[in-house]
Structure 1
Amino acid sequence: MNPTAQKSAAPAPANAAERRNYYERIRPLHLTPLWESLHALVPREPATPCVPALWRYDEIRPLLMESAALITAEEAVRRVLVLENPALPGNSSITQSIYAGLQLIMPGEVAPSHRHVQSALRFIVDGKGAYTTVGGERTTMYPGDFIITPSWAWHDHGNEGIGGTVEPVVWLDGLDIPMLRFFDAGFAENDDAKVQHVARPEGNSLARFGHNMVPVRHDHASPTSPIFNYPYARSREALALLQKQEAPDAWLGHKLRYINPLTGGAPMPTIGTQLQLLPRGFAGKAHRATDGTVYSVVEGRGIAEIAGRRFEFGPRDTFVVPSWAPLRLSAPGEDVVLFSFSDRPVQQAMGILREAFLDEDA
């Protein structure tokens, strides 16, 4: 057979009506044509449904306080206003993989002990003197502290005040709830007691693991850091020293990542955390990464330009940068300190993390 005849024997493409008829006939067999969705399933670059967004704390705080009159911490189990990405209504997600919410505990309240396989972080936003107990060790909460609740660890919260002062305390919760939901791997359990028995003195884990030393006979099997409270005072001091000793990175300012002291990796297996300082006058270059990131403003006022949108932020505000969205940070009038978290450890473990530091305007 000559090649010309063979080529002309190929079937002609079906018209639109024929294709629709074919799709309707295969649908009852739970079949679907890949060619109709291939470009959406395997895009040339990330096409997240998430959008940039900013939550102003001054607007949210009165609503948080109002919620205290509607439901107790014990009744709610956790009194939280979820920060939902505007493009993901009803999903309780700030990005496709991360949950975030602002939790309030009033003076004298207890959020009862429970545990779940979702890993959680607490970043203290407002007030001091509340506590969290994790695995039998209690720690007092101060603004800027980064606190971890490992997967399947018992934890409860309370607010007894400190130094004779008792005030409402608010923290930012960050959990891997959407990831666990994707894997259909969620478990939870309520404790028999409202609060845990405190078995170790406060500061025990930091004393044992927070000074570049480890107890000789310690055997740590958990993938989560043995330190569960990273005090802001120590982290802020490190940033201040860097600010004095070296020039800021042109994209990130002075940025440090929290680590598990036993491995050098992320403190949590599914969530990476960072703290950065943008010195006064900083005008950063644009950068982007595939890990959609949540930012909490600790100090100062600045500007985040995200995918062409401009957000002016202040202390205690929260904003989100979607996957692969260009981000440019600036601090025109004062030093700015930002805490951030994302699913970076998961993407690194899978070998799919990408980031780009751009020289041109994005």
Structure 2
Amino acid sequence: MTTHLPNDQRSQLEDLYREMDPSALTPLWEVLAALVKPEPRPQAIAHRWSYDEARGYLMRAGDLISAEQAERRVLVLENPGIRGQSAITGSLYAGLQLILPGEIAPCHRHTQCALRFVMEGSGAYTTVDGEKAVMNPFDLVLTPNWQWHDHGNPSDKPMIWLDGLDIPTVRIFDTTFSERLDDKVHPETAPAGATLATYGGNLRPFRGSAADRRPAERPLFHYPYVQWRQALTVMAQSAAIDPHLGHALEFTNPADGGPVLPTISAHVRLIPAGFETRPRRATDGAVFVVCEGRGRARIGDTEVELRERDVFVVPCWQSLVLQADEDLVLFAYSDKASQQKLGLYKEESQ
């Protein structure tokens, strides 16, 4: 409450607050300005995580605890503005997961939606409801909410990927459930790559036919780098560049053309060497991975250097400008899907 009050009135109000506090009552007028703000003022801040630094700590953890002991051997990327919440933005989680050669991360499922973006290694897999997606660098793999999933690494090299989940969003509603499968791995239900071959070419089986076995609302869960990078290259060769986004493509759900997960959207961008985007801000908090190239990002008043495999976060309503010293290829995920469903999303370009 910012209005200046006479001392006697303030004293009587404070007496009233003390008396009603045991009844779990509190005056809205004392907190209204903080609850209903003129514009977003997130507690999360702009930040960059060096992949090389994080990888060093992750490999040390690999020497100390197994994937099975940890269930998921992950280093959480905690936003410095909201430490202790296991969150990279107010609504999203991010973590770097390590699976060493020969390891299995046991099968479980949960109400949280998750994506995996591969940072390093080839030949490990994520199994979704009994079908393996064999992963390579910069592949996107989804584990939608309440679908069984486990991970394994039969290769001879470490496998590291970025986990992106809506854990803080689910926490708001107190609706977290999880289950573990009795076996470490899910029984095979289809050959590896069957879903990608069936649903990944802008075609799908006739609904209700014998081949139509994936969930109707979310049939595809593997988006390989070789496909999306080629699409981005072709787009850059023929399409006009957007001054605020560069060349940008959104990942879509082939069932309805919408976002890949109910609460999470994902996209990729190509910023050509020497190009600088114009300022743009949006209400979605976004997590970016540098797939290729070098450059800089100016996020509000914060500027960060960008190197391959580094991760950076752009909080809600923070202006973003990207500068590319070399062709800069970025992957990003955000809570745009949630915000659009709730009628909250807004963007602004300069």
Common topology (TM > 0.5): yes
The aligned amino acid for 1:125 is M
The alpha carbon displacement at 1:246 in A equals: 2.4
| Distance change >3 Å, CA 223–CA 351, structure 1 → 2 | farther
Aligned counterparts of 1:223 and 1:17: Cα–Cα separation in 2: 62
Q: Is the 8 A contact 2:126 2:132 kept in 1?
A: yes
Which of residues 67, 78, 86 is equivalent to 1:84?
78
Choose the corresponding residue for 1:191, options 173, 181, 185: 181
Letter in 1 for 2:264: I
1:203 to 2:196 alignment: no
Shift of 1:232: 0.6
> Retained in 1: the 8 A contact 2:79–2:87?
yes
- C-alpha spacing 1:75/1:224, structure 2 compared with 1 (3 Å): farther
Determine the structure 2 residue equivalent to 1:4: none
Q: CA deviation at 1:13?
A: 9.0
In percent, how many aligned pairs have the same letter? 49
The answer for the alignment partner of 1:345 in structure 2 is: 337
What's the counterpart of residue 328 of structure 2? 336
TM-score by length of 1: 0.92
| Counterpart Cα distance in 2 of 1:174 and 1:224 | 20
Match of 2:35 among 17, 37, 41: 41
Q: Is the 1:223–1:269 contact (alpha carbons within 8 Å) kept by the matching residues of 2?
A: no
Structure 1 residue 280 corresponds to structure 2 residue 270: no
Hey, what's the Cα distance between the residues in 2 that align with 1:278 and 1:102?
25
Deviation at 1:221, TM superposition (A): 8.8
Q: Which amino acid aligns with 2:303?
A: R
Matches within 5 A, 1:221-240: 222=215, 225-240=218-233
Q: Aligned pair in 2 of structure 1 residues 183, 220: CA closer, same or farther (>3 Å)?
A: farther
Instruction: Please give the secondary structure, in 1, of the residue aligned with 2:37.
Output: coil
3-state SS of paired residue (1:51): coil
Q: How many residues end up aligned between the 2 structures?
A: 343
2-side partners of 1:78 and 1:124: how far apart? 15
Matched with 2:239 is 246
Q: Secondary structure at the match of 2:169?
A: helix
**CA displacement, residues 188-218 of structure 1 (integer Å, 9 cap, x when unaligned):** 1111101111120111111111111111134
Q: Secondary structure at the match of 1:151?
A: coil
Tell me how far apart the structure 1 counterparts of residues 35 and 90 of structure 2 sit (CA, whole Å): 15
Asked if the contact 2:288–2:330 (Cα under 8 Å) also holds between the matched residues in 1, the reply is: yes
| Aligned residue type for 1:273 | A
CA distance in 1 between counterparts of 2:23 and 2:153 reads 57
1:212 match: 202
Distance 1:214 1:243 in 2: 27
Cα distance in structure 2, aligned partners of 1:40 and 1:178 = 20
SS of alignment partner, residue 172 of structure 1: strand
Q: Does 1:169 align with 2:192?
A: no
Whether the aligned pair in 1 keeps the contact of 2:217 and 2:255 (CA below 8 Å) is no
Which AA in structure 2 matches 1:242?
A: M
TM-score, reference length from structure 2: 0.95
Q: Give yes or no for contact 1:121–1:175 (8 Å, CA) kept in 2.
A: yes
C-alpha separation between the residues in 2 aligned to 1:200 and 1:37?
A: 55
> Alpha-carbon deviation of 1:14?
5.2
CA RMSD between the two structures: 1.6
The offset of 1:345, in angstroms, is 0.8
Deviation at 1:117, TM superposition (A): 1.0
Inter-partner Cα distance in structure 2 for 1:223 and 1:186: 23
> Is contact 1:224-1:267 (8 Å) kept?
no
What CA distance in whole angstroms lies between the structure 1 residues aligned with 2:260 and 2:31? 38
In the TM superposition, what are the counterparts of 1:127-146 in structure 2 within 5 Å? 127-146=121-140
How far 1:222 sits from its partner (Å)? 4.8
Amino acid across the alignment from 1:201: P
Check whether the contact 2:287–2:313 (CA below 8 A) recurs between aligned residues: yes
Q: Which residue identity does 2:96 align to in structure 1?
A: L
Structure 2 residue runs without a partner (length 5+): none
Deviations 1:220-260 (A, max 9, x none): 89585311100011100011011111231101000110000
